[in-house]
Amino acid sequence: MAVLSALRLSRRAALGFVAMGVLWGSFAAQVPVLKAQIGADDAVFGLLLLGSPLGLLATLWLVPLFDRRLGALSLPIAALAVALAYLVPGLATGPWVFLAAMIGLGLGSGLLDIVSNARVSELEARHNRSLMNANHGMFSVAYAVSAVATGFAREAGLSSAEIFSALALLVACLSLGMRSEVTPVSDEERRAVRLPWAIVLICGGIVLLAFFVEAVVESWSALHIERTLGGRAAEGAFGPAILGLTMALGRFSGQAITGRFSDVSIITLGAAMACAGAFLAAIAGGPFLAYIGFGIMGLGVSVVGPMALALVGRLVPPAHRTSAVARVNVMGFAAFLLAPLVMGQVSDAYGLRVAFAVVGALALIAPVLALMLRARSASYAQSP
């Protein structure tokens, strides 16, 4: 009931998360065919995927102006922009076109992601309740369903261009229900209070680690199953699908237990589970054991990012809420810059098994940052 109530309150913003899940789930399930389509090896493909986070980073400066100018229309227009951007990767036949497509994807996704999170943060403040986990859970559900559907579409012989065109039309339809009012904030209000940078940076670090783990499974799980473990196309698609389903379960559960456990406890447990799942995927001898590993990773990491995003929205002054959420999101987006680089280079040198083990070790940094955040937020609350 808590989840359904949260989704009713934030239904317009939730559609933004659904749109992102639909598109990225399909992309993850098509990584093997897109990689073959442009004729790139692991190292080159990892570098090409850097185009997406480069586009995402540009949104740090673009989103505040975009959101202020468009107001209630910013969410549906961002959804339309990312839907159009997804038409390009399926048509790319060379590395440079694919790189340009990834930059456009990153820019459109960044706009939609930040605006969606900002709307949820505003609603959390307005209704004085947690809503973030439920909305991120909708992303995960849409991601899983889209990944599975894409796997079967590939098996049926549909091309990437055909799949992406159908999904772009679906997102365009969803955008019709995304119009949502924005709480206006004057320049005088923004100048009257300072932005607590330490809190923003620590929350951004936690989100970065969570998104790093998520990005690795999204982009490399299908390849790990199909190449390392010898799975078929549909089996490969179940890698990102398992991540999406378990992340949805974890986030909906997190929505229900928020307030019963401390933020540090939830982040610590989630990071430990992500680490264990990554090591299990690394040592898996077949797809089934890898699925279990990806599932544990999804359950663990599912609540870490939304928890940090909710915290920054709660801890910063209301006049800086959208700006702070944007900055934390952009720091998190750096994960999509680092993940292809780390996975591509480590995989090319040592194989995907070692690469997944490295990811598990990095996940354990999040609990340390959570402890730092608790100390810093207490100090900020006592400051004049």
Residue 15, token pair as written in the block: 């559609």
CA dihedral 160, 165, 166, 168 (to 10 degrees): 120
Question: Above pLDDT 70, what percent of the chain?
Answer: 91
Contact between 318 and 306 under an 8 Å Cβ cutoff? The reply is: no
Helix axes 304-315, 321-350, angle to 10 degrees: 150
- Give 36: exposed, middle or buried? Use CB within 10 Å, 0-12, 13-18, 19+: exposed
pLDDT > 90 fraction of the chain, expressed in percent and rounded: 3
Largest CA distance in the chain: 63
One-letter-per-residue 3-state SS of 226-264: HHHCCCCHHHHHHHHHHHHHHHHHHHHHHHHHECCECHH
Residue 248: CB partners within 8 Å, gap ≥ 6?
137, 138, 140, 141, 144, 302
- For residue 185, the model assigns a pLDDT of 60
Average pLDDT, whole number, for the chain?
A: 81
Q: How far apart are CA 280 and CA 296, in angstroms?
A: 9
Report the pLDDT value the prediction gives residue 191, as an integer from 0 to 100. 59
Q: Of 283, 274, 280, 284, whose CA–CA distance to 293 is shortest?
A: 280
What is the domain partition of the chain in residue ranges? 2-180+193-379
CATH architecture of 2-180+193-379: Up-down Bundle (1.20)
Residue that is written with structure tokens 């590395």 in the block: 95
Distance of alpha carbon 221 from alpha carbon 210, whole angstroms: 16
**pLDDT at residue 378 tops 70:** no
Cα–Cα distance for residue pair 119/185, rounded to 1 Å: 14
Q: How far is CA 312 from CA 41, 64, 195, 214, in A?
A: 39, 17, 11, 20
Angle between helices 287-301 and 197-223 in degrees, nearest 10: 170
**What is the predicted pLDDT for the residue at 220?**
77
Q: Quick check: 292 pLDDT over 70?
A: yes
User: 217: closest CA among 112, 352, 334, 34?
Assistant: 352
Residue 208 confidence (pLDDT): 92
Strand partners, 258: 261
CB atoms within 10 A of CB 24: 26
Query: Which tens digit of pLDDT belongs to each residue from 138-154?
Result: 887 888 788 888 888 88
HSE-CB at 84 with a 13 A cutoff on CA atoms is: 9
- Angle, helices 95-127/132-155, rounded to nearest 10 degrees: 150
Report the C-alpha gap between 335 and 176 in whole angstroms: 31
What pLDDT score does 206 carry?
Answer: 92
Separation between Cα atoms, residue 352 and residue 225, nearest integer Å? 10
**192: alpha, beta or left? (left if phi > 0; alpha if psi -120 to 50):** alpha
Residue 100 pLDDT exceeds 80: yes
Residues 153-191 pLDDT 10s: 888 888 888 888 888 899 989 988 888 776 666 555 555
- Find the Cα–Cα–Cα–Cα dihedral 303, 12, 317, 300, rounded to 10°: 0
pLDDT at 331 over 60: yes
The pTM is what?
0.75
- The mean pLDDT of 283-298, rounded to a whole number, is 86
Asked if 329 contacts 207 with a C-beta cutoff of 8 angstroms, the reply is yes
The answer to whether 321 and 114 are in contact (CB under 8 A) is: no
382 has pLDDT over 60: no
User: What is the pLDDT confidence band of residue 276, given thresholds at 50, 70 and 90?
Assistant: very high
- Average pLDDT of 188-215? 80
Give the pLDDT of residue 214.
83
pLDDT > 70? residue 384 = no
Interval 217-263: pLDDT, tens? 777 777 778 877 777 777 777 777 787 778 888 888 877 776 677 77
**Window from 8-12, 237-241, 297-301, 359-363 with minimum mean pLDDT:** 237-241
Please give the residue that has the higher pLDDT: either 205 or 247.
Answer: 205
| 307, 118 Cβ separation under 8 angstroms | no
The tens digit of pLDDT for each residue in 31-83 reads 888 888 888 777 788 788 778 877 877 777 777 777 777 777 888 888 898 88
Phi-psi region of 219 (alpha: psi -120 to 50; beta: other; left: phi over 0): alpha
Phi then psi for 186, rounded to 5 degrees?
-80, 160
Provide the pLDDT for residue 241. Answer: 75
Query: Averaged over 278-294, what is the pLDDT?
Result: 86
